[in-house]
Amino acid sequence: MNSLEFVRDEILAIRGYVSGEQPPVGKFIKLNTNENPFPPSNSVIKAIQQAATQGLNVYPDALANSFRICAAQMLGLEKDWILCGNGSDDLLTMLTRTFVSSGSTIRIPYPSYVLYRTLGQIQGARTEEIHFEKDWRLPSSFYENSSSVSLVFLPNPNSPSGTVLSPEQVLKIADQLDCPLVVDEAYADFSDTNCIGLVREAENVIVTRTLSKSYGLAGLRFGYAVARPEIIQQLQKVKDSYNCDALAIAGATAAINDQSWLTENRSTIGNLRQQMARDLRQRGFEVTPSQANFVWCHHPKISSNDLYQQLKSNQILVRYMDYPDWGSGIRISVGTSSQITALMAILDTIVAENNL
C-alpha cells in the first residue's frame, strides 16, 4: 500500500504555508515576522503566572468568556459579537471552513498574506488574486460582485505593504459584495483608522484581530473575531473544542484590560516607524508609507535578495518577498531604537561596499 494513497488530492497538490524563519532567540536581530520588539505588559506576566498555579488540571472555558467580556466592553459591543482563537490564523481557518466549499472561489488582494490562499486550497477552492497597482491601489475589480466568490479576505493594513483602505472604501467593497468580507486587522492598532464600526453597519463584514503584534504576545497565540452574533454561532461549530488554553486566556484578558500599555506602545512604535522609514530613505531606499509595525522597501541599485542575504550574514533578519508576476522587496519590522541603529550601520557598510 502506498502510504499517501488516502491523502486528499487537494492536500497532496499544495506546498502548505511556510512561516517566517524563527531562529533560536538571541542569534539575530529579528525584524522578519512583525513581532513587537517590546515585552508585553507586566500585568500579562502576572496573570499567566497566577493561572499556572491554579486549575491547569481542568479544561479551560471553551469560549474564553473572560476575554470576550473585556473585549466587548472595550469595543462597545456585547460578548456574543466576539469569538476567540488560537491566534488570528485560527479564526481565518474557522472562517474558511465555514464559508468556503470545494469548487468555490475566494478573492484576495495580491500581494497580501500568503496564508489565505493555502486555507482556500485546503478547502478545494480556487483563489482569485486581484493584483495591487504598483502604488498599492486596489483596482476596481476588487469591488465587483461575482456569484462564484464565497469569501473575500482584505488585510487592512495590508502586509507586506502596510498600506490601508479607509473605512469608507471598505464599506464600499462590502456593499458591492454578495458574500462575507473578512477585514483582517492584524495591524490595525498601529493604524489611524479601523473598521470595527462596519461590523454593525454592514451585515457581511467580519473583522479579525490578533494580540500577536500590538500587544507583544506572538508567543502566546491569541486572536479574536468580531461579527454579528448569528455568524459567531456558526463559526463556533467549526472550532476546536478548547482552542484557547487557560494560560493564553488569562494573559490575553490581562492584556486587553491594560489599554494604557497599548496606547503607549502604539505611540512608541509609530515614532520608531517614522525614524526607520526616514533612515532608510536617507540611504536611497524607496519606502512605502506604512500604517503598520513594518515597512516595505527596496533599494533601486541593489537586489532585495542580495540585501536580505547580506543583512542575514550580519545577523540581521528581515523578510525577503518575491511575488511572481508582481515584484520583490524586503519587509522590515519596526525594531527598538538600538536595533534600528544596528540595521542602519550594516546598511551603511553594504551601500559603501556596493559603491552606491
Ligand X SMILES: Cc1ncc(COP(=O)(O)O)c(C=O)c1O
Site residues (CB under 6 A) for ligand X?
34, 87-89, 113, 155, 159, 184, 186, 210, 212, 218, 223
Rounded to a whole number of angstroms, the minimum distance from the CB of residue 129 to ligand X is 15
Rounded to a whole number of angstroms, the minimum distance from the CB of residue 100 to ligand X is 17
Q: Between 155 and 167, whose beta carbon lies closer to ligand X?
A: 155
Distance between CA atoms of residues 189 and 330, nearest Å:
22
Rounded to a whole number of angstroms, the minimum distance from the CB of residue 186 to ligand X is 4
Cα angle vertex 220, ends 167, 229, to 5°?
45
Entry field: residues in the chain: 356
Distance between CA atoms of residues 353 and 342, nearest Å:
17
Q: Between 204 and 210, whose beta carbon lies closer to ligand X?
A: 210
Q: Between 108 and 297, whose beta carbon lies closer to ligand X?
A: 108
Rounded to a whole number of angstroms, the minimum distance from the CB of residue 263 to ligand X is 21
Q: Between 159 and 339, whose beta carbon lies closer to ligand X?
A: 159
Q: Between 60 and 223, whose beta carbon lies closer to ligand X?
A: 223
Instruction: Tell me whether the omega of the peptide bond preceding residue 157 falls within 30 degrees of 0, making it cis.
Output: yes
Contact 164, 175 (CB under 8 A): no
Instruction: Tell me the three state secondary structure of residue 154.
Output: strand
Give the E-state strand segments of 215-326 in sequence order: 223-226, 286-287, 294-298, 316-317, 319-323
**Cβ contacts of 134 within 8 Å, gap of 6 or more:** 327
Rounded to a whole number of angstroms, the minimum distance from the CB of residue 220 to ligand X is 9
